[in-house]
């Protein structure tokens, strides 16, 4: 290292190793100072200003939920009117005969699934309860969620048909399950 200024040689001697007193390169120093200045801005902004990744994620989820609110099953339908609408009941019967009969019996008297004609309900017998049970299902008990196969409108119709079964006397009815309602 003949180009080094011998005057810059420090006094120390580390077991024969000598050290020059070279200044750090300017670009390196400015990077270092820049990082310090940046941290003084960034740390309060991120930690005090609520810009940590977790907080930003939660804010975005909130924003998305405000744009697309979660809808309760049956929201937007007049369920009381639907329950007595003969057109809907007929449509619901067609769905029932195709998809629900294997488990709930040809007349809704129950097979694998419970009797839908009595006044006992496991998940509630009001229109909104029935719509919710059909929409979300009870997968752990063998009643699947139908929302991927049936439109909300079809589900309301199916519920109207089930409502209309109350008090009918199917052959070989399954014993009541759940709680009695009115």
Q: Which of 92, 99, 78, 104 is nearest to 161 (CA)?
A: 92
Q: How far apart are CA 174 and CA 54, in angstroms?
A: 52
- Minimum gap (Å) between residue 87 Cβ and ligand HEC: 17
DSSP structure class, residue 60: H
Give the Cβ contact number of residue 126 at 10 Å: 16
Nearer to ligand HEC, 34 or 142 (CB): 142
Give the Cβ contact number of residue 25 at 10 Å: 9
- Write the interaction track for ligand HEC spanning residues 66-105; mark x where CB under 6 A is met and - where it is not: -----------------------------x---xx-xxx-
- Minimum gap (Å) between residue 177 Cβ and ligand HEC: 6
Query: Rule CB under 6 A: is residue 127 a binding residue for ligand HEC?
Result: no
Query: Rule CB under 6 A: is residue 121 a binding residue for ligand HEC?
Result: yes
Give the Cβ contact number of residue 177 at 10 Å: 13
Residues contributing to the site for ligand HEC (CB under 6 A)? 95, 99-100, 102-104, 112-114, 116, 121-123, 130, 133-134, 138, 141-143, 146, 158, 162, 178
């Amino acid at each position: 290292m003949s180009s080094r200024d011998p005057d810059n040689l420090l006094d120390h001697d580390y077991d024969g190793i000598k050290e020059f007193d070279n200044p750090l390169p300017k670009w390196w120093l400015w990077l270092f100072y820049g990082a310090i200045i940046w941290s003084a801005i960034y740390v309060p902004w991120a930690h005090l200003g609520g810009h940590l990744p977790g907080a930003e994620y939660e804010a975005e989820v909130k924003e998305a939920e405000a744009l697309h609110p979660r809808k309760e099953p049956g929201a937007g339908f007049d369920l009381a009117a639907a329950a007595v609408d003969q057109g809907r009941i007929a449509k619901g019967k067609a769905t029932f005969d195709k998809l629900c009969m294997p488990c709930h019996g040809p007349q809704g008297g129950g097979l694998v699934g419970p009797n839908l004609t009595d006044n006992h309900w496991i998940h509630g017998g009001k229109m909104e309860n029935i719509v919710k049970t059909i929409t979300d299902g009870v997968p752990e008990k063998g009643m699947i969620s139908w929302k991927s196969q049936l439109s909300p409108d079809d589900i309301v119709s199916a519920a109207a048909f089930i409502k209309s079964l109350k008090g009918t006397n199917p052959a070989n009815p399954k014993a009541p399950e759940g709680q009695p309602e009115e």
